[in-house]
Amino acid sequence: MAVELQKLIHKVEDKDVRLVAGKEGMSNLVTWVHMVEVSEVTDFLTGGEIAFITGIGISSPSEVLSLVEHIYEKHAAGVVINTGPFLEKIPEEVVSFCEENGLPLFEVPWRVHLAEIMRVFCYEITLADRKTAEIAAAFRTALLFPKQEELYVVPLSQRGFPASWSYTVIVAASKTASMVTSKRMEKIEMTLSNYMSHSYQDFSLFHSEDELIAITGNYSESKNTDFVTTLRHYLNEIRHPSEIFYFGAGKSTGSVRCIYKSYRQAKAVVKLLKNGHVSQGQIFYSKMGFYKLLMNIEDQEVLEDYCKNTIAPVVEYDKKNNSSLVEVLSAYLKNNGSVKETADELYVHRNTVNYKLNKIKELTGMNLSAMDARLQLSAALMVINIL
């Protein structure tokens, strides 16, 4: 994870590093450091680096400006210029450019070794990256192996995530598992983490196969809503047109020991969205209505048994005969038992609907005109959607 430029500069305040221009960019996040002496080298910048310049090989002020402009175009976090035998002073046009564009520009005298400043920066960034990785690893364990508390409760507490906090899991899943490669997911994860770090703290963001997983710590409901909105906005900005993600957010937990429940709920919401069973705007577990009850049944065998004793014969019949009994049943229940409205919705004759309803009655042994039977079958259809 990147480190805020202001924090890095604070670590070398004894090195005579002087801010010359671009103060408004001091909150920029720094991903790494890079020596840049010619414009061609800027092609190796990927964004977020601190560019160091000694002036070796530069013969005119215009060359310095051209180099800094190239660095800015690569979205660098800042520029450090070493003044001395190669560059006697920083050209005024460079200072003006950095000030106008909010690019932090620092001057370091020749007597200060740039290598020492770079070493400090690299060390701090490496520490931040390691801490981020350790937090993500602990959260992964909490999601997948909740009973192994010794592997995540203490490590998270030591890194600023107390066990007693409330936690919310947000999942952004790719439309299809093969759509986004692992390398691409890593890039998206890093970019989003850096974006979100500008506005939010006490969160972890990592990926697992085709899922981006964000976990917020001790956020209020409104702050979680803002976090998800911002996350979706940034993801839409950086994703490729072919990359489609579905968001789901679980319930806030009372402890880190329970975040696996929030994760399971978030994944269930994603599945409902993928299959079109809820509208795209409904991404929070708290807005799922009756589905909330079903999502909280941890023993999947209970749900499977319920389906076996209600809707399973209809599902099996459809599979074997390539028929549409489940579709007809769903439309019939949605239209409050109206054969006419069901036929109109499905663009079929009423006799076709009646024939298929009779077949469903035969398979299930239920009287579809009875309220109790309709409730049971409606619940069974919802269970199928989350299994």
List the domains of the chain with CATH numbers: 3-112 (3.40.1390.20), 126-291 (3.30.70.270), 300-386 (1.10.10.2840)
CA of residue 16 relative to chain centroid, distance: 39
The CA distance from 2 to 190, in Å, is 9
Per-residue pLDDT, 322: 92
- pLDDT computed for residue 170 by the predictor: 97
pLDDT of residue 296: 76
Nearest-angstrom CA–CA distance, 371 and 310 = 15
Q: Do 67 and 158 contact (CB within 8 A), yes or no?
A: no
Tell whether pTM > 0.85.
no
| CA-CA-CA-CA torsion sign (187, 189, 192, 198) | negative
- Residue 144 has a pLDDT of 94
pLDDT in tens, the chain (387 residues): 689 999 999 999 999 999 999 999 999 999 999 999 999 999 999 889 999 999 988 888 899 999 999 999 999 999 999 999 999 999 999 999 999 999 999 999 999 999 999 999 999 999 999 999 999 999 999 999 999 999 999 999 999 999 999 999 999 998 876 667 888 898 899 889 988 988 899 999 999 888 999 999 999 999 999 999 999 999 999 998 888 899 999 999 999 999 999 999 999 899 888 877 777 678 898 888 888 778 777 778 888 888 898 999 999 999 999 999 999 999 999 898 899 999 999 999 999 999 999 999 999 999 998 888 898 898 888 888 877
pLDDT of residue 365: 92
